[in-house]
C-alpha cells in the first residue's frame, strides 16, 4: 500500500495528462492506494478488456469488467486506472516502481532443491522475476557474459563448466537492483563470502571461484547487454494498474485469480509507504 502526498498527487494527475481543477487533485490523497505491476505479452490490450470503459456513463453497461464490479460510482476520477499505451505505462512504472533490471544465472549442476531455495531468496529479498528459462549456454554466449574473467588462470575451466549443462537464467527487477543483489549474493569467491557475508548465496551454495553457484551482471549498463544477449527483445508488455482502495483489491483478488490462467499475469505490488 502507498499514500501519496500533495505534490505526488499533482505530479500523478499531470502525468495522466489530466487538467487539475477544484478538489480533483485531493482524490488520490483521501486514503491508501495500491499499485500493481503486471506483465505479459500484449498486457495492455488484454488487461483493458478486463478493466472496462473509462467513461462513467458506460461503466454501468459493461458487465463482467472490473470497473463495473468495483469502481466507486460517485467518484469524479475512476477508482481503477491503467495506461493505454506503452509510453504511458513506462511513465507510470517509473513513477511508482523506479527499478533496475539484472540478469542472473544459476550455474549448471545445482540441485532442484538448491535452485528452489535460491529463487525463494530472490523473492524474500524483494526481487520480481520478470522472466526465466533453462538453457545450455554456448561458448560464444559465455565469452560475452564472462568478459571480466578472460585472461584469468581459471577462465578455461569456467568456460567448460558454464557450457557443461543447462543453466537457469532470470531477469530480476527491483529498485536499486544491482546494489541489493551484491548484498544478497556476496563476493565472487565463496571462501571470502563465508568470511565476510556468511548468509550470502555464494557462501551457502558456492564451492570455489568457478563453481560459485550464481553469476550476475556487474552493473545496470552491463545488464542491458546481457539481457539482450540471452532474451533478445523481451516480447512482453508491462502495464501499471492503480487501485484507489485496498478494499477494492481484496475484492478483486478473486477476479484476478480467476483470470490468471488466460492472462498469465505476473503481479508485483508496491507495498512501500511514501
Q: Is residue 34 part of a domain?
A: yes
What is the CATH number for 130? 3.30.70.141
- pTM of this structure: 0.59
Q: Are residues 20 and 43 in the same domain?
A: yes
For the chain, where are the E strands, in sequence order? 34-40, 80-81, 100-106, 128-135, 167-174, 214-216, 237-243, 266-270
| Residues 27 and 134 occupy one common structural domain | no
Query: pLDDT at position 133, please?
Result: 94
207 neighbors 193 (Cβ within 8 angstroms): no
What local confidence, expressed as pLDDT, does residue 73 receive? Answer: 67
* Same domain for 176 and 239: no
Sheet with 128-135, edge to edge strand ranges? 128-135, 167-174, 100-106, 214-216
* 146 shares a domain with 73: no
pLDDT at 268: 41
Which strands sit side by side in the sheet containing 80-81, from one edge to the other? 80-81, 237-243, 34-40, 266-270
**Hey, how many other C-beta atoms are within 10 angstroms of the C-beta on 174?**
21
Do 110 and 209 reside in the same domain of the chain? yes
Do residue 243 and residue 125 come from a single domain? no
Same domain, 219 and 131: yes
138 and 44 belong to one structural domain: no
DSSP state letter for 199: T
Note the pLDDT of residue 46.
Answer: 84
Provide the CA 199 distance to its chain's centre, in angstroms: 24
Alpha helices in 17-55 (DSSP H): 43-51
Q: Quote the pLDDT of residue 141.
A: 96
Say yes or no: 136 and 173 in one domain. yes
Domain span holding position 16:
6-97+235-270
> How does pLDDT run along the chain (274 residues), one tens digit per residue?
333 334 444 455 454 555 444 444 444 445 567 777 777 777 888 888 888 998 888 888 899 898 888 877 666 667 777 878 888 777 777 777 667 888 999 999 999 999 999 999 999 998 888 889 999 999 999 999 999 899 999 999 999 999 999 999 999 888 777 778 888 999 999 999 999 999 999 999 999 999 999 999 878 788 889 999 999 876 555 554 545 444 444 444 434 444 443 333 333 434 443 3
Residues 43, 162, single domain; the answer is no
Task: Identify whether residues 251 and 153 lie together within a single domain.
Answer: no
258 lies in some domain: yes
Answer yes or no: do 67 and 174 share one domain: no
pLDDT of residue 241: 53
The alpha carbon of 204 is separated from its chain's Cα centroid by a whole number of angstroms, namely 25
**Cell, residue 185:** 549474493
How many domains does the chain contain in total? 2
In this structure, is residue 1 part of a structural domain?
A: no
Amino acid at each position: 500500500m502507498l499514500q501519496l502526498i500533495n505534490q505526488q498527487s499533482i505530479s500523478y494527475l499531470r502525468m495522466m495528462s489530466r487538467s487539475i481543477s477544484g478538489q480533483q487533485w485531493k482524490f488520490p490523497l483521501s486514503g491508501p492506494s495500491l499499485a500493481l505491476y503486471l506483465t505479459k505479452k500484449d498486457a495492455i490490450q488484454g488487461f483493458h478488456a478486463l478493466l472496462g470503459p473509462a467513461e462513467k456513463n458506460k461503466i454501468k453497461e459493461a458487465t463482467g469488467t472490473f470497473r463495473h464490479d468495483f469502481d466507486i460510482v460517485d467518484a469524479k476520477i475512476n477508482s481503477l486506472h491503467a495506461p493505454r499505451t506503452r509510453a504511458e505505462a513506462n511513465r507510470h512504472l517509473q513513477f511508482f516502481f523506479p527499478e533496475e533490471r539484472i540478469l542472473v544465472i544459476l550455474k549448471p549442476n545445482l540441485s532442484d532443491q538448491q535452485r528452489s531455495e535460491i529463487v525463494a531468496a530472490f523473492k524474500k529479498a524483494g526481487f520480481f522475476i520478470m522472466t526465466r528459462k533453462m538453457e545450455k549456454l554456448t561458448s560464444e554466449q559465455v565469452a560475452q557474459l564472462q568478459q571480466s574473467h578472460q585472461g584469468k588462470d581459471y577462465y578455461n575451466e569456467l568456460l567448460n563448466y558454464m557450457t557443461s549443462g543447462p543453466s537457469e537464467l532470470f531477469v530480476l527487477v527491483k529498485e536499486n537492483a544491482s546494489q541489493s543483489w551484491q548484498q544478497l549474493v556476496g563476493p565472487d569467491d565463496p571462501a571470502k563470502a563465508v568470511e565476510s557475508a556468511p548468509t550470502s548465496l555464494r557462501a551457502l551454495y558456492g564451492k570455489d571461484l568457478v563453481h560459485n553457484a550464481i553469476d550476475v551482471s556487474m552493473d545496470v549498463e552491463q545488464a542491458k547487454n546481457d539481457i539482450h544477449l540471452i532474451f533478445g527483445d523481451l516480447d512482453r508488455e508491462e502495464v501499471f494498474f492503480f487501485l484507489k482502495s485496498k478494499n477494492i483489491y481484496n475484492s478483486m483478488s478473486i477476479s484476478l485469480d480467476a483470470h490468471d490462467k488466460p492472462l498469465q499475469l505476473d503481479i508485483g505490488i508496491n507495498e512501500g509507504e511514501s
